[in-house]
Amino acid sequence: MGAPSAPERWAVFGLLGQRVKVSRRSAGYAAAFRERTMDMQLKGKTALVTGASVGIGAAIAKALAAEGVRVAISARRVDKLRDTAAAITAAGGPEPVVLESDLYAADAAPSLAARAVEALGGVDILVNNAGGSRSFSSLHVTEAQWTEAMTLNFDRPRQLADALIDQMIARNWGRIINITGKSEPDHVNGAFCAKAAVHSWAKGLSRMVGKNGITVNCIPPGRIHSEQIFRNYSPEYRKWQSENEIPVGRYGEPEELAALAVFLASPLAGYISGTVIPVDGGLRRYQF
């Protein structure tokens, strides 16, 4: 293989062993091909991925399935879930279980956990991805707004883990991966507050279940291309931020975050627990 030409770059996802050829000319640095070189030891495992209809959740579900994991994917938009499932099977992955779920419902977490366990025979890996930004532009917001933000972004991830943890303990193996959010808010955002609570809860939980072969980690995304990003930020702002605030000079792709999620889900990451690992191209300024 010769050296890449000027408009092209090669990125090696070392943890997954995936080498991806990307081009500055391609929108969002889309991968042109992948070459697998490492066995993640995940074949035969099972996973529940919430918020898996599009974006980060769909990318994680696809990446896990590519490693031989049978996934249950959940979200409200069943049509989008079916698209994700079709992409998985078309790529040769195990047939996914599609579970429609509205996590605002009072019994959503135990119900979803029970359906996933029944369909998969057990859940080895929980990926808490469902959630979304709740920017409070006013100084005073209603208690209903706070309740909604905390329910989706903190209560449901915690409740799902609680519903699944005993069967993980029984097998002496499990992975809980929480997709969270940044810790440098410019103003009050209900989701940021909830995700900070997830970081604290996950750290405490990791210390309680580590002896049972279970790891608990958090991944706060930076600017990762998604429906929410495209809805909230103009092309002009994304270009300005890429050039002025993100050291790697671009927004990320869902697959780049999925690479870390798959590694954390694998047996190879058994000594990594209680961590908060941003995937943000260097955007965050804090050291730890």
223-281 pLDDT, tens digit per residue, is 999 888 898 889 999 999 999 999 999 999 999 999 999 999 999 999 999 999 999 99
Task: Characterize the bridge pairing of strands 174-179 and 214-219.
Answer: parallel
User: 54 near 80, Cβ under 8 Å?
Assistant: yes
CA atoms within 13 A on the CB side of 67: 29
> Would you say how long the chain is, in residues?
288
Residues contacting 148, CB < 8 A, separation 6+: 104, 134, 190
Task: Go through the domains of the chain in sequence order and give each one's CATH number.
Answer: 1-38 (no CATH), 42-269 (3.40.50.720)
Sole residue written with tokens 């042109």: 32
pLDDT of residue 69: 98
pTM of the model: 0.86
Query: Nearest 5°: phi and psi at 135?
Result: -75, 125
pLDDT of residue 155: 95
Nearest to 103 by CA among 168, 48, 160, 47: 160
Sole residue written with tokens 């996802």: 13
Question: Which residue positions in the chain have pLDDT lower than 50?
Answer: 1-34
Residues contacting 26, CB < 8 A, separation 6+: 32
